[in-house]
Structure 1
Amino acid sequence: MAATHRISGHGRLTPAKTVRFTFDGQSYSGLAGDTLASALLANGVHLVGRSFKYHRPRGILSAGAEEPNALVSVERDAARRTPNVRATVQELYDGLSASSQNRWPSLSFDVGAVNDLASPMFSAGFYYKTFMWPKAAWKSLYEPKIRAAAGLGVSPDQPDPDHYSARFEHCDVLVLGGGAAGLAAALAAAETGARVIICDEQAELGGALHFEAGTSIDGADGWSWAQATAAKLAAMDNVRVLPRTTAFGYYAQNFVGLTERVSEHLASPGHDLPRERLWQVRAKRVILATGAIERHMVFADNDRPGILLASAARTYLNHYGVAVGQNVGVYTANDTAYAAAIDLKKAGVNIAAIVDLRDNPAGALVDEARALGIEINHGRAVIKTGGRLRVSSMTIQPKNGGGERNIPIDALLMSSGWTPSVHLFSQSRGKVAFDDATKRFLPGTYAQDCVSVGACNGTDGISATLDEAYAAGEKAAKDAGAKAGKSAKPKAETSESWAGGMLGAGPGAGADTTVKAFVDFQNDVTAKDIRLAVREGMRSIEHVKRFTTNGMATDQGKTSNMHGLAIAAETLDKDIPAVGLTTFRAPYTPVTFGSIVNHGRGVLFDPTRKTAMHGWAEAHGAVFEDVGQWKRAWYFPKPGEDMHAAVNRECVTVRKSAGLFDASTLGKIEVVGPDAAKFMELLYTNPWEKLEPGRCRYGIMLREDGFIYDDGVVGRLAADRFHVTTTTGGAARVMNHMEDYLQTEFPHLNVWLSSISEQWAVIAVQGPNSRKIIEPLVEGIDMSDEALPHMSVREGKICGVPTRLFRMSFTGDRGFEVNVPADYGQAVWEALWAEGQKHGACAYGTEAMHVLRAEKGYIIVGQDTDGTVTPNDAGLDWAIGKKKTDFVGIRGLTRPDLVAKGRKQLVGLKAKDLKVVLEEGAQIVADPRQPIPMTMIGHVTSSYWSENCGRGIALAVVIDGRDRMGQTLHVPMPDSVIEVEVCSPVFFDEKGERLNG
């Protein structure tokens, strides 16, 4: 189908560059440089979608990212289907295939439109009241139906074949927005030599200069100046210009997230180009030049296709050369719409009438419209429109009531004024302030090193905007450390002004009406819905928002928020600031998962960490489990063994002879410096000052509240050096914990902290024959019990490689942990394995490790503790220095609740049936005959089958557990109640004789 609504001689596109595309299966042609929206309008297509709740026909409202209606699915192939694409920002390319959404069986005949007829049943908040009864229907009926109805587009169901990229960047000045203000600010900053980045969400920089026709800057028309300035900036070595790039999030310390559409506009992107690129930018100074968003008028049936914003119609005419209609009406409360009417009139489009809500509009634009013979009806309002799939008429009357007049039209332009785009400013944690004179929220109190310029700062007029922006650019560069600039400030001339306007509903949509005057187009929120929310008791605008869903659609209320706020304020009889303002959260516009996730999918979804011995374990048949980001050998099955058989064999072998275990994933931190012992005294409950070099100690770390945070064995290598081990999962957080206290609470201590988790491979050799296995390979270390007693550490060599050899055990048997540089980990492991084979040793995995430690009652932080366990609860009072007067958590331990009776304490559990293995997490009760819900007195934290004990064993936390020794408690399960006896948490070698056996 050929385009028929282009106006010869208008627009900036090249008529010869045609492209083909389809919409809902119908073929059309457009021009290179079109958006999907402009190309559809050029073909006379206004109906593009259906609203979410009522399925009302919807047309193109805007020409930018604020678009709430024209959401389409774009499909390159079966795997490349993107829902909810705004047609106003989707650039046209040859072969583009788009389809409308939220309709069946077709866009023009949608069965879902029956909801519009039933709209009295679907008033705001109806779902909060309707789905309460019967209670059983929620799961069987309501929830499935609601989930099926939720959403607009259809998500792709195949893996995304495209790739995405990410960049980290630093700059002196980051300019967000490429309109006249952003260009002037970037130019001023760039001329100082500062490193500048300027980004804009559109394909070409220029902002409002896309549609403004009467602006002259430095003797050229505004658009030409913008393109020349953008080209000048792009040619400068210290400037990066990023078109098609949206600043979606403003975070702490001037960290801004940008997403760049790299190849969405290309017919054949090729495999070398990413689809999108995520920029994570840290800037010394940020300049916000984000412009303003035009608001619609709120009146009856203001949502028909063919009704759109005045600035949008002007954009389609002046930039794309497209007329949105041939007989156009205008409804306005400010001067901006006059400029649109004048441009269309000069292009040969009939302007049926301008309806101005103001009583006595005056100014150059009003005078020019009159001079062109355009009918102006001031002091009047549009009270309703006609038409079904496209607007066909508007009915007007004096705003104070009176005779109605029906005017035929095929398009209606509207403008109630402009809302400064303060979204990113708010995201920066800046506080907006309401300007009562202009009825708009403006940047108020700043929280970061940024400044707002131009329309987003409430600055009216191009000349004032350029002056403000240029000065801001120079100052930002100077504040970032650059020198004075050398370029001349741009000068502008224009007769246009964006000031003035109105907020809230217009005449005919007042409090006593039932008409549908739409505030939020996508979610079908009307003025009467806002008023209903207030009548239902909502007083905060945040509550009104959630009750009505106003501003909760994909456009995040860019056009609707201020109207909704004004209507709520009017209904409450309060000033607008007293009602509050909804929070502007990131992202500014929707961001794809691909852009955020980037390469992090498939095997790269989460970093996979492997120890130095991973390859050996893999070659010897290990089954792995994920522990955090680590791949850890879970068990080593022999032919014919399942997991249980393998673990049983490993546990018995370790107790009878020896076993090798890869403990490299343990967190390891080196604490070094003259005050290292003082620092350890403050961070741990244990005493450290008198610990001799060469000795080890089990240490407990608490939070301020007195609860266990982490634990591990610490070796003192020298008077000023400690080798600290942490749990695998606690490595990073313990390091952060230490750094936090060192920098904020104990900065007077002369201490350095180094994470050495990856530097040392750790091989645990445990069992009665462990010394026999290690001794032949060690150099320079006396391995006798007298020279190397339990809980000692020595430095020497093993297999010719430097080692830190710990005499310690997590199994309760004689044991050692061999630390060697990670590069030599597998070689030393293989040497130890060869020696171990002489003594019948085995390799064992994490499951056997858990069983062996549980047999001895050794806890694992995070499994046997849950963030509310104190050392006393865990039976570890002995690990608290009796003479210590200060350490992190000491005051927390004295809180009354932490020393009172009735706390859960760590105990052991033995099921009366030896073969029963309790389920971890199972609840424990004193009396199973009590009514449901029962009173739970504890739960199982660890539970295993112990081949060495010949029974199931378990650890648990139970209220006053140590006073219940020998008592019978009960574990209710779905099919039975299991009797258990409370016992000591040590099930094997209770006297600890095997540590030296």
Structure 2
Amino acid sequence: MSQSFRIPGKGRLTPSRGVRFFFDGRAFDALEGDTVASALLANGVHLAGRSFKYHRPRGILTAGSEEPNALISVSDTAATHTPNVRMTVQEVYDGLVTRSQNRWPSLSFDVGAVNSLGAPFFSAGFYYKTFMWPKVAWKKFYEPFIRQAAGLGISPKEPDPDHYANRYAHCDLLVVGGGAVGLAAALAAAKAGASVILCDEQAECGGAMRHESGARIDGKSGWDWAQETVAALKSMDNVRVLTRTTAFGYHTQNFMTLAERVTDHMADGKGLPRERMWQVRAARVVLATGAIERQLVFGGNDLPGVMFAGAARTYLNHHGVAPGRKVGVFTACDSAYGAAFDLARAGVAIPVIVDWRHDVPEALMQEAQGLGIKVLAGHRVVQAKGRLRVNGIAVAHRDGGQERSFAVDALVISGGWTPAVHLYSQSRGKVVWDHDTQRFLPGAPVQDCVTVGACNGTDDLAAGVAEALDAGRAAATATGHDADSVPAITVEASESYAGGLSGDAGEIKGKAFVDYQNDVTAKDIRQAVREGMHSIEHVKRFTTNGMATDQGKTSNMHGLAIAADSLGRPIPDVGLTTFRQPFTPVTFGTIVNHGRGELFDVTRRTPIDSWAQEHGAVFEDVGNWKRARFFPQAGEDMHAAVARECRTVRESAGLFDASTLGKIEVVGPDAGAFMDLMYTNPMSKLGVGKLRYGIMCREDGFVYDDGVVGRVAEDRFHVTTTTGGAPRVLHHMEDYLQTEFPHLKVWLTSATEQWAVIAVQGPKAREIVAPFVSGADISAEAFPHMSMAECEVCGVPARLFRVSFTGETGFEINVPAAYGRSVWEILQARGAEFGACTYGTETMHVLRAEKG
């Protein structure tokens, strides 16, 4: 299809670099740098999807990751099929195949739309009140029907053939958000010498500079300054710039998780991971995440063709695409005027700007008049009209009166801007209500982070850049760098983002949606309050407002305001949902990254494993470990081999690989007190050089694990656990140390793979071991049962335990893992002189069972 809504001379894409992609089986032309959303708009396509409950037609609402409507499946093959991808984020490439979702048989004619006729039966919380009778119908009818109807996209049914990657990184400063403010913070810290990571979810940094046409920074347009700054940052050795990278999780101690889309924009990404997980520990964090535009709640506000003003401006100024030929504007905010003026200058007809506010800034009124645009102050859009696309609006005065109609083929709206405090909230920082601007802003931080710019409620670009420079300098200074010489940045012109509206825009005619994806209306919110839901968390769950894939980025504030109005209470008294990870959906592949196949279910082998394989051992799985079960000789089955091994250990001696036992080093001045709290028997009274069998119980009294504990020094214990219990015992100890006993000075270290453990058991054990021990007397008198010593065995540093799991004389020799096989072979050769054998786990079980 021809790109009839592409405006020559507008945008930043190169007309000669065309691509072709497919949507619902139809081929569309686009330009490199387009998203699926901008490409469809260029071809005059607004219908992008269907809603969850009523299957109402939905269009492209935004130009970013907050998009609730335009969700598609991206599919080259059945195995690489990815559902619920936002059109506004997915970049086009030659041959890209996309499909709409949640419709049958087609997007324009969806049988599921019949659900709208049943709307009175599907009101808020209907699932809590229905499907109760008859009981037998639940399993046979209700549940299968609900499961069939649930969801939007369809999950892939074949294994994912792509591979994913993981990287760990640390830095002095992590800046989240690559707009002008984030770039300023990164530049200030980087010029001072601090190590900086800058991430942004878009394909290019620039943020609001993608759509703002009036901003000028350091004598350049905002966009040009942003691109020059990015280039300068990329040239610095102490800076890493990550685009197409979403910071989706802010965890404790400034640990952040990022998801980088590596090849989702490429036709051929062979040899590269599809996505990469970054796990970053930062000394300081600057959150420059901007703000999210609010919708306006009025009848028909979900029709295709209704679009945020900021999005319309992005599509025009960055992609060179107009949302329509005749575009109406409905706003409660100054910023929508910028969209109207840019569209008008590009040749798009603007029949009317409907402003909810009575007092519109005089400068905006004069500019509108100069462009021949009618402004109706103190008015509202009563209803948007149309079926598969808006074709008109009904307008009336806020205080009532006769309606006026305007023919339009698109309607851009703006209810103001809500600071994107999601990551700040994830960091456990508390937000505070600002009565003057009617929005939640970041309060006092809990972690070493700073919010700047629109995220901090600073709407003025010059003030935001100044905040960012201060934050960057402070981060550099705090991490040991001199930031005194970092130059200032001059913002010569910026635009106004003042104004806003929370809640519904007057008396509603028709359905007015708050949550587009889950079909939650203003009426549903009010019904939830009438039925006793007085907390926003209860309202959210009763109505599903904010529970779709966008997690309420565009709906939370309106839902909260309508609930507060229904309750007759101030907004902050109703509460605010706590934002949790992830910020936007993350694929399982990204989270799993390298952990697939054997890297997920790891096969662990001891340092002596290769010797056992060479000598014909039969192995069994014990947790993740491969352990030698028995060592058959010619003609022996398991029973014969085990009988021989048992007899040899009782009569002479046997060698056993015990390296799989868990080993934890407990160190610190309070180690003894901590061990007393962990085990049922007292460990603080255990003498240095002694061993004790310990039992660990859960809080309910059931046995959690057991093992032998050795006291190496007054402040050091060598703790052994069962083979499968090592990870959970370490986690159990860490959990209690951090949450219940944080005052104790104790450090825990997993040492399971540090030591190879060779058990020598039987009447001849001492004679086999003694010649190789130096630095300790292991005679029966000097080294009795349950003793330990740090010494050398075969010239190797060792921890020697006098302990037995067979009932016979026994020693456990702990040596560094790298020496395990060498020491084993020396002891094997010595044992052969006494007729000793090697035995496995089956014999170990029999021997200790025989001794009770």
Provide, for residues 499-531 of structure 1, a one-character-per-residue CA deviation record: whole Å limited to 9, x for no partner: 11111111232xxx7x32111111111111111
* Distance in 2 between residues matched to 1:752 and 1:571, nearest whole Å: 54
Change in 2 beyond 3 A, CA 1:684/1:24: closer
CA contact (8 A) 1:462 1:493 kept: no
Aligned match of 1:356: 355
CA-CA distance at 1:690 after TM superposition: 8.1
For the pair 1:586 / 2:585, whether they are aligned, the reply is no
Report the alpha carbon displacement of residue 456 of structure 1 after superposing the two structures with TM. Answer: 1.2
In structure 2, the CA distance between the partners of 1:765 and 1:227, relative to structure 1 (3 Å rule), is same
Please state whether the residue corresponding to 2:236 is helix, strand or coil.
coil
1:469 positional shift: 2.3
Contact 2:769 2:827 in 1 (8 A): no
Paired residue type of 2:227: Q
Give, in whole Å, the separation in 1 of the partners of 2:365 and 2:292: 22
Q: Tell me how far apart the structure 1 counterparts of residues 673 and 494 of structure 2 sit (CA, whole Å).
A: 73
- What's the secondary structure of 2:352's corresponding residue? strand
Q: Secondary structure at the match of 1:713?
A: strand
Q: Aligned partners of 2:34, 2:851: CA distance in 1, in Å?
A: 80
Note closer, same or farther for the CA distance 1:733–1:528 as it changes in structure 2 (3 Å cut).
same
What is the count of residue pairs matched by the alignment?
Answer: 847
TM-fit CA distance, 1:231: 1.8
CA 1:562–1:662: 2 relative to 1, 3 Å: same
Question: Secondary structure, in 3 states, of the residue corresponding to 2:113?
Answer: helix
Structure-2 residue corresponding to 1:758:
753
Corresponding residue number in structure 2 for 1:539: 534
**Any idea what SS the aligned residue of 2:67 has?**
coil
Distance 2:519 2:633 in 1: 65
Give the structure 2 partner of residue 344 of structure 1. Answer: 343
Correspondence for 1:604: 599
Q: Is residue 2:559 matched to residue 1:564?
A: yes
Give the equivalent residue in structure 2 for 1:872.
Answer: none
Alignment of 1:949-988 (within 5 A): none
The code of the aligned residue for 2:589 comes to: G
Deviation of 1:708 after TM superposition, in Å, equals 6.0
Partner AA of 2:801 in structure 1: F
Change (3 A) 1:848 1:60: farther
Question: Which structure 2 residues correspond to residues 471-510 of structure 1 after superposition, within 5 A?
Answer: 471-494=470-493, 496-509=495-508
Residue 733 of structure 1: CA displacement?
6.2
Q: Distance in 2 between matches of 1:86 and 1:674?
A: 55
**Local SS of the residue matching 1:102:** coil
Change (3 A) 1:50 1:841: farther
Partner of 2:47: 47
CA shift, 1:318, in A, is 0.9
C-alpha distance in 1, partners of 2:282/2:237? 17
Counterpart of 1:169 in 2: which secondary structure?
strand
Q: 2:661 aligns with which of 666, 669, 672?
A: 666
Secondary structure of the corresponding residue to residue 615 of structure 1? helix
Q: Could you give the per-residue CA deviations for residues 845-884 of structure 1, whole angstroms, max 9, x where no partner exists?
A: 445545654x3xxxxxxxxxxxxxxxxxxxxxxxxxxxxx
Q: Which amino acid aligns with 1:63?
A: A
Per the TM alignment, residue 265 of structure 1 is displaced from its structure 2 partner at its CA by 1.5
Contact 1:311 1:340 in 2 (8 A): yes
Q: 1:624 aligns with which of 609, 620, 625?
A: 620
1:613–1:311 CA distance, 2 compared to 1 (3 A): same
Give the Cα separation in 1 of the matches to 2:442 and 2:748.
43
Distance 2:99 2:501 in 1: 36
One-letter code aligned to 1:159: P
1:414 — aligned with what?
413
Matches within 5 A, 1:731-742: 731=726, 737=733, 740=737
For 1:294, the equivalent position in structure 2 comes to: 293
Match of 1:442 in 2: 441
Point out the more displaced range, 724-733 or 427-436.
724-733
Name the CA shift for 1:567/1:833 in 2 (closer, same or farther; >3 Å): same
CA drift at 1:815: 3.6
Counterpart position of 1:396: 395
Amino acid at match of 1:153: G
Contact 1:254 1:449 in 2 (8 A): yes
SS at match of 1:350: coil
**What is the aligned partner in structure 1 of residue 266 from structure 2?**
266
2:146 is aligned with 1:146: yes
CA distance in 2, matches of 1:599, 1:457: 37
Deviation at 1:734, TM superposition (A): 5.7
Structure 1 segments unaligned to the other structure (5+ residues):
856-987, 991-997
In 2, Cα distance between the equivalents of 1:839 and 1:143?
A: 70
Residue of structure 1 equivalent to 2:386:
387
Aligned residue for 1:27? 27
Counterpart Cα distance in 1 of 2:3 and 2:692: 82
- Residues 586-611 of structure 1: CA deviation (Å, up to 9, x unaligned): 11111222222111111101444211
**Deviation per residue, 1:275-315 (Å, 9 max, x gap):** 22222222222211111111111111211111111111111
Q: For residue 77 of structure 1, report the CA deviation from its aligned partner.
A: 3.1
Matches of 1:474 and 1:695, distance apart in 2: 56
Change (3 A) 1:77 1:773: farther
- Aligned partners of 2:330 and 2:712: how far apart in 1? 82
CA contact (8 A) 1:307 1:413 kept: yes
| Match of residue 108 from structure 1 | 108
What secondary structure sits across from 2:443 in the alignment? Answer: strand
The alpha carbon displacement at 1:139 in A equals: 3.4
Structure-2 separation of matches of 1:127 and 1:606 = 40
Counterpart residue number, 1:523: 518
> 1:248 is aligned with what amino acid?
F
Secondary structure, in 3 states, of the residue corresponding to 2:411? strand
- State, as a whole percentage, how many aligned pairs show the same letter: 65
Query: C-alpha displacement at 1:813, in angstroms?
Result: 4.2
Superimposed CA distance per residue, residues 567-622 of structure 1 (whole angstroms, 9 cap, x where no aligned partner): 10011111000000001111111122222211111110144421112223444242
In 2, Cα distance between the equivalents of 1:345 and 1:790? Answer: 92
Letter matched to residue 555 of structure 2? S
Distance 1:142 1:190, change over 3 A: same
CA 1:37 to 1:626, structure 2 compared with 1: closer, same or farther past 3 Å?
farther
Deviations 1:809-865 (A, max 9, x none): 223344443434433433454565677778887655445545654x3xxxxxxxxxx
One-letter amino acid matched to 1:560 = S
Quick one: distance in 2 between partners of 1:385 and 1:851?
81
Evaluate the alpha carbon distance shift between residue 230 and residue 406 of structure 1 in structure 2; reply closer, same or farther with a 3 A threshold: same
Equivalent residue for 1:207? 207
Mapped contact 2:653–2:765 kept (Cα < 8 A): no
What is the 5 A alignment of 1:915-934?
Answer: none
The 5 A counterparts of 1:453-472 are 453-472=452-471
Higher RCO structure (Cα 8 Å, ≥6 apart): 2
C-alpha spacing 1:839/1:318, structure 2 compared with 1 (3 Å): same
Structure 2 unaligned segments of length 5 or more: list them: none
Distance 2:46 2:538 in 1: 34
CA distance in 1, matches of 2:361, 2:743: 66
Query: Cα deviation per residue 1:191-249 (whole Å; 9 max; x = unaligned)?
Result: 32222222211111111111111222222222122222222222233322222221111
CA contact (8 A) 1:300 1:508 kept: no
Task: Determine if contact 2:79/2:158 at 8 Å carries over to the other structure.
Answer: yes
Q: Deviations over 1:779-809 (max 9, x none)?
A: 6688775565433446777667665543322
Does residue 5 in structure 1 map to residue 5 in structure 2?
yes
**1:364 CA displacement:** 1.6
Please give the alpha-carbon distance, in whole angstroms, between the structure 2 residues aligned to 1:687 and 1:433. Answer: 50
For residues 448 and 647 of structure 2, the distance between their equivalents in structure 1, rounded to whole angstroms, comes to 64
Q: Deviations over 1:115-153 (max 9, x none)?
A: 122222211211122233333433343333323332221
Residue by residue over 1:742-774, the C-alpha shift from the partner in whole angstroms, topping out at 9 and shown as x without a partner, is: 995554xxx99775433332233445x553883
Matching residue of 1:951:
none
Displacement of 1:693 after TM fit?
A: 6.7
Task: Show the counterpart of 1:881.
Answer: none
Alignment of 1:16-95 (within 5 A): 16-95=16-95
Code of the aligned partner of 2:477? K
Residues 783-794 of structure 1 aligned to structure 2 (within 5 Å): 789-793=784-788
Q: SS of the residue aligned with 1:351?
A: coil
